[in-house]
Chain A
Amino acid sequence: MLNGIVWPDIWQATGSTIYMIVISTLLSVVIGLPIGILLYMTAASGLRPNRIVYQVTSVVVNIVRSVPFIILLIALIPFTEWIVGTSIGINAAIVPLVISAAPFFARVAETALREVHPGVIEAAQSMGANVMTIVWRVLLRESWPSILAGVTLTAVALVGNSAMSGVIGGGGLGDLAVRYGYERFQTNVMIVTTIVLIILVQILQMTGDRVVHHFAKRRG
């Protein structure tokens, strides 16, 4: 059953996948969170309502989110080459991963921010807090557990997408599954990579839940 599996390759691919997920999650948060804040602030109910900014941002986010990842992967090849210098390998895979996950995270963040009770914001305004203070010390602070839950959600979604990037030679477990499992008919390699991916997702989810719980435990 386990005949012909090259274990060092599996471990190396696992490492690559983890690298891709960690980096692309971080970048997605770095890019997505400001977009999420922008969406929240410029919405009709936000602190700085602006119909045009909101609509434009919202439509762009929706368009990127509606393109299937596999198409984005291929369509972005020129862009990836321009940014990374190559369209093959794990660093190249990170570009489409981030482009697909950042708008997703932006929506998650927007939703999390909306959960903050408007009264709490009003109380801060009544104390003379300016907009920046409200964003940092009220909005982000109050919605932190929800935002962290959103980070977990994004990371888990990225596990699936990172495997898919194997199709264009992105590296990692997906790449391994395609090369050995599909092209060489080594079903057992496919099964092993899938198991490793399942374990990865479980670990991510458990860690994420723990962190969220840690930040949320005292609140009502």
Chain B
Amino acid sequence: MIILDNISKTYRQSRGDETTAVRNVSLRIDTGEVFGLIGYSGAGKSTLLRCINLLERPSAGSVIVDGVDLTRLSKRELNQKRRKIGMIFQHFHLLSSATVAENIAFPLRLAKMPAAQVRARVAEMLQLVGLTGYERQYPSQLSGGQKQRVAIARALAAEPSVLLCDEATSALDPETTKSILSLLKDINHQLGLTIVMVTHQMEVVRDICDRVAVMTEGAIVESGRVLDVLLKPSHDVTKRLFQIHQAPLSPTVPSAATRVVEIAFTGATAHDPILAEVAQSTGCTFSILRGTIDTVKDVPFGQLTVAWFGEKTVVDAAIQRLEQAGFILLKEQITDILPQATEVTVSC
């Protein structure tokens, strides 16, 4: 478990000015959890991540990893502790002069592991990341995705309990990003590893994070379970980051609709024919104007804009039924179609 207690990081600049990269952040990350830190560049999320293994020493506050306050450790003790906190980076940072096997062996040699054991462990790690047979290759001979796999193997070789990922997929193409994320997901399941990911990519959070914290200007403005944040974003930055790109509504939105609502559904409700059932049983009709269906960490998640037709009371009853069935009412009367509707009235 990682506890960040009231962390601040201030940099003193040459002219005596100070810039604050992280301000008063408190955070608790549970063992075995995949935690996302999301925000635009310059939000302070990388600085906060680097405070966890003290690559950046916080100006104030304490960092407690598995019960140990890192800020109170001596240099030697800190180096010992860091071996239990793996880290991977956007640009991999492998030793270019060392082979894949030597790179993965690096943390093991730091721990003074005997050579025979090192060899066995390297082979095991290569198998874990799917690169068996690449022992003697040099990083320059590998693709970006393969380099990140080597970096993951290196970070995990000394059996850490925590893996810190600093924009680990930001330099990779979408396909490779997916494969690295699924590798991280597997590792999280298999080893029960706690993963903290810094990213600006919404997909990363949606794919593998259990919880997420949104950062802006050095502070956490919103945090919670990914689905909750996704469904009910409260801060502007969250709304912008988590905005699901939906097609704009067509200008020929039926003006005869009684109500137009945006609804969301997740999990079990995604598989049942609830919309049709509700419409049938109440006697109204509906038309789906737009929608997206996706998954959040393997749980289906959908958002639909639906126009309902029929008597006001009947439609109201239908929508109420939907809510009872587990649908979430996000928005009533989508604003972007309102001007359109007025225009129609004027021209008549």
Q: Which residues in A have some Cβ–Cβ distance to B below 8 Å?
A: 117, 119-120, 122-130, 133, 137-138, 141-142, 144, 215, 218-220
Whether the Cβ atoms of A126 and B53 lie closer than 8 Å is yes
Whether the Cβ atoms of A141 and B107 lie closer than 8 Å is no
Whether the Cβ atoms of B75 and A123 lie closer than 8 Å is no
Whether the Cβ atoms of B141 and A129 lie closer than 8 Å is no
Residue of B80, B96, B151 most packed against chain A (CB within 10 A): B96
Q: Is B221 an interface residue (CB 8 A)?
A: no
Task: Write out, one digit per residue, whether chain B residues 135-155 have a CB within 8 A of any chain A CB (1) or not (0).
Answer: 000111100000000010011
Q: What is the minimal beta-carbon distance from A175 to any residue of chain B, in angstroms?
A: 42
B contact residues, total (Cβ < 8 Å)? 34
A200 to B80, CA, bound (A): 51
A142 to B103, CA, bound (A): 12
Q: Which residues in B have some Cβ–Cβ distance to A below 8 Å?
A: 53, 55, 75-76, 78-83, 85-87, 89, 91, 93-98, 106-107, 109-110, 138-141, 151, 154-155, 158, 164
Whether the Cβ atoms of A122 and B55 lie closer than 8 Å is yes
A21 to B85, CA, bound (A): 49
Q: What is the minimal beta-carbon distance from A61 to any residue of chain B, in angstroms?
A: 25
Q: Is the interface of A mostly helix, strand, loop or mixed?
A: helix
Whether the Cβ atoms of A119 and B91 lie closer than 8 Å is yes
A99 to B95, CA, bound (A): 34
Q: What is the minimal beta-carbon distance from B49 to any residue of chain A, in angstroms?
A: 11
Whether the Cβ atoms of A219 and B140 lie closer than 8 Å is yes
Whether the Cβ atoms of A129 and B79 lie closer than 8 Å is yes
Residues of the A chain whose Cβ atoms lie less than 8 Å from the Cβ of B75: 130
A218 to B94, CA, bound (A): 14
Q: What is the minimal beta-carbon distance from B149 to any residue of chain A, in angstroms?
A: 15
A138 to B98, CA, bound (A): 10
The 3 closest A-B pairs by CB, nearest first: A220-B140, A128-B82, A123-B93
Whether the Cβ atoms of B93 and A127 lie closer than 8 Å is no
Residues of the B chain whose Cβ atoms lie less than 8 Å from the Cβ of A120: 93-96
Q: With A119-B91, A120-B93, A218-B141 in contact, do A128 and B83 touch (Cβ < 8 Å)?
A: yes
Closest to A217 in B: B138
A126 to B93, CA, bound (A): 11
A125 to B87, CA, bound (A): 10
Closest to B79 in A: A128
Residues of the B chain whose Cβ atoms lie less than 8 Å from the Cβ of A219: 96-97, 138-140
- Given A123-B94, A219-B140, A220-B141; 6 other pairs, CB 8 A cutoff: A123-B87, A123-B93, A123-B151, A126-B85, A126-B86, A128-B82
Whether the Cβ atoms of B79 and A220 lie closer than 8 Å is no
Residues of the A chain whose Cβ atoms lie less than 8 Å from the Cβ of B76: 130
Point out the residue from B93, B94, B110, B140 that lies within 8 Å of A128, measured CB to CB: B110
Closest to A145 in B: B97
Residues of the A chain whose Cβ atoms lie less than 8 Å from the Cβ of B139: 219-220
A99 to B97, CA, bound (A): 32
Residues of the B chain whose Cβ atoms lie less than 8 Å from the Cβ of A142: 95-97
A126 to B87, CA, bound (A): 7
Residues of the B chain whose Cβ atoms lie less than 8 Å from the Cβ of A124: 106
Residues of the B chain whose Cβ atoms lie less than 8 Å from the Cβ of A123: 87, 89, 93-94, 151
Residues of the A chain whose Cβ atoms lie less than 8 Å from the Cβ of B141: 218, 220
Q: What is the minimal beta-carbon distance from B63 to any residue of chain A, in angstroms?
A: 14
Residues of the A chain whose Cβ atoms lie less than 8 Å from the Cβ of B53: 126
Whether the Cβ atoms of B95 and A127 lie closer than 8 Å is no
Residues of the B chain whose Cβ atoms lie less than 8 Å from the Cβ of A141: 95, 97-98
Q: What is the minimal beta-carbon distance from B94 to any residue of chain A, in angstroms?
A: 7
A176 to B151, CA, bound (A): 58
Closest to B103 in A: A123
Q: What is the minimal beta-carbon distance from B137 to any residue of chain A, in angstroms?
A: 9
